[in-house]
Amino acid sequence: MSGLTKITFHGNLAEALGQKNWDLKVSNVAEALRAVDVLSKRKLSQAIFANEKQNIKYKILTDDKNLFSKPINEAEEAKEAGTIGFMARSMVQATMPHKSVPEHYFKRKNGNYSLTMMADPDIGLPYGARPRLLLAWLTTEAVRTQEREIILGDSLSKFMSELGIIPTGGRWGSITRLKDQMKRLFAASVTATYDDGESWALKNVTPVEEAQLWWNPSNPKQTTLWKSTVTLGDKFFTEIIEHPIPIDMRALQALKASPLALDIYCWLTYRMSYLGNRTVVPWVALQTQFGTGYALTPQGTSEFKRAFLRQLKKVSLIYPEAKVASVAHGLQLLPSKPHVAKLK
């Protein structure tokens, strides 16, 4: 988009915002919605969450063209809106750190499957929401282009808008934090193991084989002579192409304030894609898969359970078809439609 973009809200969204039309100078739709949410002091995201919970219809237009309407959780609508994305299966089964960790390795366990992420000691491990958004974008581009080499864009600001991040400078600005997490993610290596007590298997995976970032952080809108690129590791790329996990990128944008919520969303839509019978996943098992920073003690598990259920409520607003419930010793899962259906 160029010049001013007109964003029009219909129904109770306009009432919640106190303004129907917004004219903004932005580079894409994601940036426009993010800007409205910031300018309205989060009234937009709060209103959308409330509408989802109460099944209230709404519509949003951009330059008088339909952007999306209730419900955002329908796969066909996600396809029409061009918001179907993908996540790597290995990173859904076990997750990255939620917060900064002092060690140079990080291990997560999901049943018989374990994932260990190792870092360059001078760089550190990736953590938080940003590497998850990065990984989803890279995976989506790999599936879309069927190429290992991913072109990130001519300018840093353009790439950040693709991630739904508004560029801000300074030591704690979004540019500095994104650059730091890109380095951490691109320099990390992963070991996946399977051990059921009898059989044992191991696979070493390098998510990123090569990265070249030519952007100037002090001038994020400046285009560069050479394109910034990332080349995915061969094994990682093969897994993405053969077993991509479909997701709705709008859901990631709505949940990106919490890395735990992002993990729960991706895991749930993947788990529901093959769940055939009622299953109860013990809280301790969920803690070893998701529970960064919680002690493996009764008190630690109790604290993790409260945090998990708090974020699950947010995920359920976006993905209400997921039939889940907290029971005595774990999380009950009933067969449900995945948030986005598998590609045919």
List, as one string, the DSSP characters of 255-307. Answer: HTT-HHHHHHHHHHHHHHTT--S-EEEEHHHHHHHH-TT--SSHHHHHHHHHH
31 with 160, same domain? no
Q: Which amino acid is at 177?
A: R
Structural domain contains residue 94? yes
**Which of 66-70, 97-101, 156-160 shows the lowest per-residue confidence on average (mean pLDDT)?**
66-70
CA distance linking residue 341 with residue 168, whole number of Å? 36
Give percent of the chain with pLDDT exceeding 70: 81
- Boundary residue ending a domain (12, 37, 70): 70
Specify the higher pLDDT residue, 317 or 41: 317
Cα distance between residue 139 and residue 87, in whole Å: 6
33 within domain boundaries: yes
pLDDT at 115 over 70: yes
- Looking at the fold, whether 58 and 113 belong to one and the same domain comes out as no
26 or 233, greater pLDDT: 233
Please state, in angstroms and rounded to a whole number, the distance separating the CA atoms of residues 186 and 234.
14
pLDDT of residue 16: 81
Q: Are residues 24 and 107 in the same domain?
A: no
- Domain membership of residue 36 (yes or no) is yes
d(CA 286, CA 329): 11
Compute CA 331 distance to the chain's CA centroid, rounded to the nearest angstrom: 22
Q: What is the pLDDT of residue 221?
A: 67
Q: For the residues of 139-206, what is the DSSP string, one character each?
A: HHHHHHH--SEEEEESSHHHHHHHTT-----STTSHHHHHHHHHHHHHH-EEEEEEE-SS-EEEEEE-
**Cα gap 229→149, rounded to integer Å:** 7
Q: State residue 293's pLDDT score.
A: 78
The strand pairing partners of 247, in sequence order, are 85
175 and 54 within one domain = no
End-to-end CA distance of the chain: 32
For 316, list phi and psi in degrees, rounded to 5. Answer: -65, -25
pLDDT recorded at residue 237: 95
Q: Minimum mean pLDDT among 17-21, 116-120, 121-125: which range? A: 17-21
Q: Which of 120-129, 249-258, 285-294, 313-322 has the lowest mean pLDDT?
A: 285-294
Mark whether 117 and 238 lie in a shared domain: yes
Of 29-38, 209-218, 249-258, where does the model show the most confidence? 249-258
- On whether both 91 and 185 belong to a single domain, the answer is yes
* Of the candidates 37, 80, 26, 253, the residue with the CA atom closest to the CA atom of residue 9: 37
Evaluate if residue 279 carries a pLDDT over 90: yes
pLDDT band at 91 (very low <50, low <70, confident <90, very high): confident
- pLDDT for res 301: 92
Q: At 155, which amino acid appears?
A: S
Residue 303, token pair as written in the block: 């604290």
Averaged confidence pLDDT in the chain:
83
Same domain (yes/no): 122, 156 = yes
CB-neighbour burial class of residue 174 (10 A; exposed 0-12, middle 13-18, buried 19+): middle
Q: What is the pLDDT of residues 136-172, one digit of tens each?
A: 999 999 999 999 999 987 777 788 888 888 888 777 7
The pLDDT of residue 225 is above 60: no
Predicted structure pTM score: 0.76
Where does a domain end: 218, 246, 274? 246
Asked if the model's pLDDT at residue 217 lies above 70, the reply is no
- At 56 the pLDDT is 57
Structural domain of 17: 4-70
Of 94, 13, 86, the residue nearest 342 (C-alpha): 86
- Model confidence at 109: pLDDT above 90: no
* pLDDT higher than 60, residue 71: no
Question: Above 70 in pLDDT, residue 3?
Answer: no
User: What are 204's strand-pairing partners?
Assistant: 191
Look at the alpha carbons of 332, 335, 340, 341 in this order and tell me if their dihedral is positive or negative.
positive
Answer whether 116's CB lies under 8 Å from 176's CB: no
Is residue 58 located within the same domain as residue 92? Answer: no
User: Would you state the pLDDT for residue 210?
Assistant: 94
181 closest CA partner among 131, 141, 117, 133: 131
- Tell me phi and psi for residue 123, to 5 degrees: -115, -45
Residue 335 lies in a domain: no
Q: With respect to residue 31, please indicate whether it lies within any of the assigned structural domains.
A: yes
Residue showing tokens 């970032």: 213
Is residue 148 one of the residues assigned to a domain? yes
Where is average pLDDT lowest: 151-160, 177-186, 233-242, 306-315? 151-160
What's residue 224's pLDDT? 61
Q: Judge whether 257 lies within some domain.
A: no
Question: Residues 233, 94: one domain?
Answer: yes
Count of structural domains, the chain: 2
Q: Which residues contact 342 (CB under 8 A, 6 or more apart)?
A: 246, 273
114 lies in the same domain as 35: no
Tens of pLDDT, residues 24-64: 776 555 566 777 877 887 777 777 666 655 555 556 666 65
Name the 3-class secondary structure at 230.
strand
Shared domain check, 155 and 51: no
Write down the pLDDT at residue 1: 42
pLDDT at 31 (0 to 100): 64
Q: Which residues contact 279 (CB under 8 A, 6 or more apart)?
A: 332, 333
Q: Lowest-confidence range among 86-95, 168-177, 295-304? A: 168-177
